[in-house]
Amino acid sequence: MKRRFDMIIFDLDGTLVDTFRDVSKGINHAVRKMGRAELDESAVKSAIGPGGDDFLRAVLPDGNESDENIFLEYFRSYYDEHCLDSTRPFLGIPQIFDKFSGCTLTVATNKPIRHAGRILTGLDLMDFFSAVQTPDNGVKEKPHPEMVLSLVEKFNVKKERTLLVGDTVKDLEAGKNAGVKVCGARYGYGDIESISEFMPDFMIDSPSELVNVVLESSN
């Protein structure tokens, strides 16, 4: 078997790890403290992944800047302590990484590094990755291509030999905007129909299916 790609860039939430329960509890802890109604499952899923202003708009569609600051204070205070309560890698992570010998593995997430790093370290995943890129490093959030392009440049990899794997259209847009190949992870939190309509280069329904995307028969 030979590799189609020299670098794989993974999204975090909904692609590598299932953070839904802990993020959901953090969001609803914060909105309860603010005297607001809790969010249902679909609303929480729409908030996970985009990060930044989009995260806040999904949680507080009618909120002002003051509301957003209060929410973030409550959410971060809770999530700092509970981001690993229920969060686990998706089935097949990290076992599939053994198949990608010689391939540079990286992470590009809109999640703050304080949470991304804690999760990757706490789940014994950090050592698999050569870099973790977040907006805290001074790059623009996805779907802007800067996060992806910075990794391509850092590791001097050809764009056509780079694959981005993500579960939301924003992830896929970041990859397409950067000129790399993209793979939609339909097992995550993104809308499956929207991912399909985006027409990514590849689509997978479980992490194990990524092996057949990255590797091709030498025959």
Q: Tell me how crowded residue 101 is: count the other CB atoms within 10 A of its CB.
A: 7
Same domain flag for 10 and 31 = no
pLDDT for res 49: 62
Q: Token match 């949680």: residue? A: 59
- Which range marks the domain in which residue 55 is found? 20-82
Same domain flag for 70 and 125 = no
Per DSSP, the three-state class of 17 is strand
pLDDT beneath 50, residues of the chain: none
DSSP assigned state of 14: T
Convert the pLDDT of each residue in 36-94 to its tens digit. 999 988 888 878 766 667 788 888 988 889 999 999 999 999 999 999 999 999 999 99
Same domain flag for 119 and 173 = yes
Question: How many domains would you assign to the chain?
Answer: 2
- Helix (H), strand (E) counts: the chain: 9, 10
Same domain flag for 99 and 67 = no
Same domain flag for 10 and 65 = no
Instruction: Write down the pTM of the prediction.
Output: 0.94
pLDDT for res 209: 98
CA gap 133, 67 in Å, rounded: 28
